[in-house]
Protein backbone atom coordinates (compact mmCIF):
# COMPACT_ATOMS: atom_id res chain seq x y z
CA UNK A 1 0.00 0.00 0.00
CA UNK A 2 1.30 3.46 -0.91
CA UNK A 3 2.17 5.42 2.20
CA UNK A 4 3.69 8.75 3.19
CA UNK A 5 4.93 9.42 6.73
CA UNK A 6 6.14 12.76 8.04
CA UNK A 7 8.21 13.28 11.16
CA UNK A 8 8.27 14.80 13.63
CA UNK A 9 4.59 15.65 14.08
CA UNK A 10 5.55 18.90 15.78
CA UNK A 11 8.80 20.82 16.12
CA UNK A 12 9.65 23.83 18.23
CA UNK A 13 12.75 25.80 17.32
CA UNK A 14 14.35 28.92 18.62
CA UNK A 15 14.95 31.60 16.02
CA UNK A 16 18.20 30.79 14.21
CA UNK A 17 18.21 27.12 15.24
CA UNK A 18 18.47 25.07 12.03
CA UNK A 19 16.74 21.70 11.68
CA UNK A 20 15.25 19.22 9.20
CA UNK A 21 11.81 17.76 8.55
CA UNK A 22 11.49 14.24 7.20
CA UNK A 23 9.11 12.71 4.67
CA UNK A 24 9.49 8.98 4.10
CA UNK A 25 7.49 7.13 1.51
CA UNK A 26 6.72 3.70 0.12
CA UNK A 27 5.07 3.97 -3.27
CA UNK A 28 5.19 2.15 -6.55
CA UNK A 29 6.01 4.42 -9.42
CA UNK A 30 7.07 7.75 -7.94
CA UNK A 31 6.20 10.60 -10.28
CA UNK A 32 7.27 13.46 -8.08
CA UNK A 33 7.51 14.60 -4.48
CA UNK A 34 5.92 17.87 -3.46
CA UNK A 35 6.38 20.15 -0.46
CA UNK A 36 3.77 22.64 0.65
CA UNK A 37 3.47 25.15 3.46
CA UNK A 38 0.09 25.63 5.13
CA UNK A 39 -0.85 28.42 7.52
CA UNK A 40 -3.82 27.93 9.88
CA UNK A 41 -7.16 28.26 8.11
CA UNK A 42 -5.57 28.65 4.66
CA UNK A 43 -4.89 26.51 1.64
CA UNK A 44 -1.48 24.88 1.11
CA UNK A 45 1.12 27.03 -0.63
CA UNK A 46 3.41 25.27 -3.08
CA UNK A 47 7.11 25.22 -2.21
CA UNK A 48 9.01 22.59 -4.21
CA UNK A 49 8.72 19.67 -6.59
CA UNK A 50 11.45 17.01 -6.76
CA UNK A 51 11.44 14.32 -9.40
CA UNK A 52 14.54 12.17 -9.00
CA UNK A 53 16.90 10.93 -6.28
CA UNK A 54 19.75 13.34 -5.69
CA UNK A 55 17.75 16.38 -6.73
CA UNK A 56 17.87 19.46 -4.49
CA UNK A 57 15.96 22.74 -4.57
CA UNK A 58 16.32 25.89 -2.47
CA UNK A 59 14.18 28.87 -1.66
CA UNK A 60 15.33 31.44 0.89
CA UNK A 61 15.89 29.53 4.15
CA UNK A 62 14.43 26.27 2.84
CA UNK A 63 16.18 23.45 1.00
CA UNK A 64 14.51 20.23 -0.13
CA UNK A 65 16.38 17.04 -0.96
CA UNK A 66 15.24 13.67 -2.28
CA UNK A 67 16.51 10.09 -1.97
CA UNK A 68 14.88 6.86 -3.12
CA UNK A 69 13.04 6.45 0.17
CA UNK A 70 12.69 9.88 1.74
CA UNK A 71 12.86 13.62 1.39
CA UNK A 72 14.15 16.23 3.79
CA UNK A 73 13.14 19.83 4.16
CA UNK A 74 16.07 21.66 5.73
CA UNK A 75 15.36 24.97 7.43
CA UNK A 76 18.42 27.15 7.96
CA UNK A 77 18.34 29.89 10.59
CA UNK A 78 14.54 29.95 10.81
CA UNK A 79 12.53 33.04 11.69
CA UNK A 80 9.16 33.25 13.48
CA UNK A 81 7.45 33.83 10.12
CA UNK A 82 8.51 30.32 9.09
CA UNK A 83 6.04 28.94 11.64
CA UNK A 84 3.48 26.84 9.74
CA UNK A 85 2.56 23.25 8.95
CA UNK A 86 4.71 21.72 6.23
CA UNK A 87 3.05 19.07 4.08
CA UNK A 88 4.72 16.46 1.93
CA UNK A 89 2.90 14.72 -0.94
CA UNK A 90 3.98 11.96 -3.25
CA UNK A 91 2.71 11.71 -6.80
CA UNK A 92 1.77 8.37 -8.25
CA UNK A 93 -1.45 8.27 -10.25
CA UNK A 94 -2.67 10.79 -7.68
CA UNK A 95 -1.18 12.78 -4.80
CA UNK A 96 -0.80 11.01 -1.46
CA UNK A 97 -0.34 13.43 1.42
CA UNK A 98 1.39 13.00 4.73
CA UNK A 99 -0.16 14.41 7.90
CA UNK A 100 2.33 17.26 8.11
CA UNK A 101 4.88 18.67 10.53
CA UNK A 102 3.73 21.62 12.62
CA UNK A 103 6.69 23.96 13.02
CA UNK A 104 6.84 26.71 15.63
CA UNK A 105 9.74 29.15 15.64
CA UNK A 106 9.91 31.42 18.65
CA UNK A 107 12.09 34.51 19.16
Interacting residue ranges for other proteins, rule: CB under 8 A: 4, 31-32, 34, 36, 41-46, 49, 51, 87, 89, 91-100
Q: Where are the beta strands (DSSP E) in the chain?
A: 3-7, 10-14, 19-26, 33-38, 45-50, 56-59, 62-66, 70-75, 84-91, 95-97, 101-106
For 41, 61, 70, the CA distances from 91, given in Å and listed in that order, are: 24, 25, 13
Shortest distance, position 55 Cβ to other proteins, whole Å: 14
Which of residues 78 and 100 has its CB atom nearest to other proteins in the complex?
A: 100
Shortest distance, position 100 Cβ to other proteins, whole Å: 7
Which of residues 46 and 107 has its CB atom nearest to other proteins in the complex?
A: 46
Which of residues 70 and 76 has its CB atom nearest to other proteins in the complex?
A: 70
Amino acid sequence: EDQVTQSPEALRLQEGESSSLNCSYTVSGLRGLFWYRQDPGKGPEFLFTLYSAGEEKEKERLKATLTKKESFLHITAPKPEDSATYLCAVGTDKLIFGTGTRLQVFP
